[in-house]
């Protein structure tokens, strides 16, 4: 079924397959659930998008969560201890935001074993 859906989306040349996915008619006895993924950006006013873009472009808003949230490592250590019974020291934790950052850190972690 996944192959058929992907092929039908490709053949119809939809530019945003997530937005159009719920429009594809599958089996008539199944109901399609729309969770709002890939909604059209026209639902948001242009002024709001411009304001959001302006705020995100400020230099003080750059940074990853471990830089802007000092309690992140402590919270994760507490979560690990509470749920898994494993105590993690803050120096043994590293966070990554996105796969490229994670892959870059992987080599460092393997060498620094």
pLDDT tens over the chain, length 113 residues? 444 444 554 555 555 555 555 555 565 666 666 555 555 556 667 787 778 777 777 776 665 555 556 677 788 888 888 888 988 887 777 766 667 666 766 766 666 55
Q: Are residues 75 and 103 in the same domain?
A: yes
pLDDT at 3: 44
Q: Are residues 86 and 48 in the same domain?
A: no
Range of the domain at 86: 65-111
- pTM of the entire structure? 0.33
DSSP E strands in the chain: the ranges are none
Q: Are residues 8 and 43 in the same domain?
A: yes
CB 80 within 8 A of CB 87: yes
CB 88 within 8 A of CB 77: yes
Q: Are residues 89 and 45 in the same domain?
A: no
Q: Are residues 79 and 96 in the same domain?
A: yes
How far apart CA 25 and CA 11 sit, in angstroms, is 14
Last residue of a domain, one of 22, 43, 59: 59
Last residue of a domain, one of 24, 40, 59: 59
Q: Which of 4, 5, 1 is nearest to 22 (CA)?
A: 5
CB 19 within 8 A of CB 39: yes
Q: Are residues 7 and 51 in the same domain?
A: yes
Give me the number of domains the chain comprises. Answer: 2
């Amino acid at each position: 079924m996944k192959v058929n859906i992907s092929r039908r989306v490709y053949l119809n040349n939809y530019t945003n397959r997530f937005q159009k996915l719920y429009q594809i008619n599958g089996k008539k006895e199944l109901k399609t659930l729309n969770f709002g993924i890939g909604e059209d950006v026209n639902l948001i006013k242009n002024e709001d998008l411009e304001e959001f873009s302006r705020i995100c472009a400020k230099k003080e808003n750059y940074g990853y969560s471990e830089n802007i949230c000092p309690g992140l490592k402590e919270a994760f250590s507490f979560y690990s201890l509470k749920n898994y019974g494993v105590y993690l020291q803050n120096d043994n934790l590293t966070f990554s935001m996105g796969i490229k950052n994670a892959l870059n850190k992987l080599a460092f972690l393997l060498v620094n074993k």
